[in-house]
Structure 1
Amino acid sequence: MTIRISSLPRRALLATAAFAAAACALPALAQSAAGFPNKPITIIVPFAAGGTTDILARLVGQYLGNELGQSVIVDNRVGAGGNIGGQLAARSPADGYTLFMGTVGTHAINQSLYKKMPFDPIKDFAPISRVANVPNLLVANPQQPFKNVQELIAYAKANPGKINFGSSGNGSSIHLSGELFKMMTKTDMIHVPYKGSAPAMNDLLGNQIAIMFDNMPSAIQHVRAGKLRPLAVTTAKRSPELPDVPTIAEAGVPGYEATSWFGLLAPAGTPADIVNKIDAALIKVYGNPELKKKIADQGAEPVVEKPAEFAAFIKAETAKWGKVVKESGATLD
């Protein structure tokens, strides 16, 4: 006897349809995770082309794409200190095909700096791995009377409010590296914000400001030319580019560390197996000395880690820089 579907009770019919749909979906989900990626991956970069964030995204993306067997496209979405790109990435499908090149600004500083954030750096992202650390370099005009960190601290304490330090703008890592130094040394120095690093560097070279905590790639050329005096690097370890220059911690400020870092993240909800697959591919390509050299040539330190390690690092950085932002009084609308 043939049973007509229409003769089944409505509740039974709906249950049968739901079961059939679920049964069909399960193999598809499993296949999509196992077969990832089967189309190009996009890395959203929240800053302009040609900058450090963009350069690192293109370098890492090229090698990552080769390892995963798909092309990686870089999409620059500029504005609001990285928040425009961050918002776009946070709202993208959580399928592993849209990634975000986050920075110390987008994922550790902006949350405290901006009165209103368009995304939550912790809740809206699944961390994958850091890709690089970039040290800041504490440099002084050679006409200044101090030749090392201890002399700088002594001079600042003897002359409160007389040392000016420049930065690329309020809330930048360059600015907050100086504020952290002030906090930890209990010195009174005056912050002078500029519209970008270049004009600040010009005034430092002209002795209009005394010191600057500038990014290594832009400062090192002037150090090598003898136009600036290097006092210390802001990272926990010395830079291979300037092995004779001590860290600020070594030079007399124990525990000081300020790093401009960069890392890959996915939208929150991205399946863990896809996140882990991308991370495993990163770990593999970072074994390539060619990629490491290209990153080092940018004045950066190559870094790769597990997603849980990166997540813990972001939380620690958020707490640290939140305290510095509050102490400095820096704020942006």
Structure 2
Amino acid sequence: MTPSTFFRPPWRAATAALAAAAAALAPGAHAQAQQVVWKPTHPVTLVVPYAAGGGTDATARAVAKQLGVLWGQPVVVENMPGADGLIGSRRVMEAKADGHTLLLQVPAIVLTKYMPGLKGIDPLARLTPVTAVSQSPAAIVASAKLPVKTLAELFQHCKAAATPCSLASGESLARISGKQLADEAGIANLITVNYRGTGAIVTDMIANNVNFSFTGITAALPHHKAGTLRILATQGTKRAAALPDVPTTAEAGFPQFQSVTWFGLFAPKDTPAAATQGIVAALREAVKDADVQKTIAAAGAEPVVNSPAEFAAQVQHESERLGALVKRYPLE
């Protein structure tokens, strides 16, 4: 036998012991590392690029409250309307990419680059898609003072009325939808009136200062129930859970006016994957909260929390669809 058979240097024994201990601890250490989820270290700002009172704002406030509970940090909703959402979007585009400044946007964000006067600015080039929060069909809503109760009656009224009908628009997508409607429904003299937020649209529709609008269900629903507004049709593939008696546009005979709105979170470009994944994880828990579910359901919506990659693909699909539409009906 060689001497090494009888003598083992102390450092070799120590090394072997450390290696054995590391091997024994490795599975637990790996599992512990996997359990570490990103959380904010100071207050988070959630920017809503539209005025308070609409569906985007209601969704933001519901999830912000619950995220604050889960994170142990305040999540402050900041309304920054203007320039078809660009003012609020720019606030997040220029923020530090650390997960502490987020944007809640809707599909209209993909149309910003087509807006005249905005020099082709594309917010999506400087933002990171994080996740969808919920999705809801848009609706075609009319003043109850109009002598119409169906979508077909609205179109007939507007084609025959001595005074041109007016469509309220709160953002670029509604203006494109208005152009499409005027073209395909044959309303040659339809007037589009631009607003900065849904709240003002609802007020003017109740007074019949403006006749109808494409808008989210949230703001119109209580007035529809009160009889001061009429939701003539919803624009999803199926009837909204909050409006089981209201037909879809397809059921009303106008399938070309189908549109589903998602409410999605974006972060500044180059936000670390750990942060975006942590936000998604927290949001998945937030939408389980009863108050959050109640707010989302009141909007005729449903929670749809997906991964950053899935949401990015969803945004890309919407960009292609609306890009084709804007070529037919350019923004002015």
Please say whether Structure 1 and Structure 2 have the same fold, judged by a TM-score greater than 0.5.
yes
Q: What TM-score do you get using the length of structure 1 for normalisation?
A: 0.74
Which of 113, 132, 141 aligns to 2:134? It is 132
The corresponding residue for 1:39 is: 42
Secondary structure at the aligned position of 1:237 is classed as coil
Greater gyration radius? 2
Q: State how far apart, in whole Å, the 1-side matches of 2:47 and 2:204 are.
A: 34
The corresponding residue for 1:220 is: 221
Q: State how far apart, in whole Å, the 2-side matches of 1:206 and 1:43 are.
A: 33
CA contact (8 A) 1:232 1:246 kept: yes
Secondary structure at the aligned position of 2:257 is classed as coil
Secondary structure at the aligned position of 1:131 is classed as strand
CA contact (8 A) 1:177 1:258 kept: no
Distance 1:162-1:238 versus aligned 2 partners, 3 A rule: farther
Q: What TM-score do you get using the length of structure 2 for normalisation?
A: 0.74
CA contact (8 A) 2:114 2:120 kept: no
Give CA deviations for 1:82-124 in whole Å, capped at 9, x if unaligned. 212212211222222222222233x222222244258533221
CA contact (8 A) 1:83 1:118 kept: no
The answer to whether 1:177 aligns with 2:180 is no
- Please provide the CA RMSD for this pair: 3.5
Distance 1:302-1:184 versus aligned 2 partners, 3 A rule: farther
Distance apart, 1:190 and its partner CA = 0.9
Q: State how far apart, in whole Å, the 2-side matches of 1:208 and 1:74 are.
A: 31
Distance 1:247-1:161 versus aligned 2 partners, 3 A rule: farther
CA contact (8 A) 2:54 2:218 kept: no
Structure 1 window deviating more from structure 2 (135-144 vs 229-238): it is: 135-144
Distance 1:298-1:270 versus aligned 2 partners, 3 A rule: same
CA contact (8 A) 1:234 1:257 kept: yes
Letter in 2 for 1:193: V
CA contact (8 A) 2:172 2:331 kept: no
Secondary structure at the aligned position of 2:253 is classed as coil
Q: Equivalences for 1:47-196 in 2 at 5 Å?
A: 47-105=50-108, 107-116=109-118, 119-141=121-143, 147-152=149-154, 155=156, 164-168=165-169, 171-183=171-183, 185=185, 188=188, 190-195=190-195
Distance 1:205-1:61 versus aligned 2 partners, 3 A rule: closer
Distance apart, 1:74 and its partner CA = 2.8
Distance 1:297-1:119 versus aligned 2 partners, 3 A rule: same
Question: What is the number of equivalent residue pairs in this alignment?
Answer: 298
Give CA deviations for 1:259-311 in whole Å, capped at 9, x if unaligned. 44321111111122321221122122222333211332355443322212221
The runs of 5 or more residues in structure 2 that have no matched partner are 1-32
Distance 1:228-1:61 versus aligned 2 partners, 3 A rule: closer
CA contact (8 A) 2:113 2:120 kept: no
The corresponding residue for 2:295 is: 294
CA contact (8 A) 1:156 1:189 kept: no
Letter in 1 for 2:219: S
Q: State how far apart, in whole Å, the 1-side matches of 2:320 and 2:176 are.
A: 13
Secondary structure at the aligned position of 1:122 is classed as helix
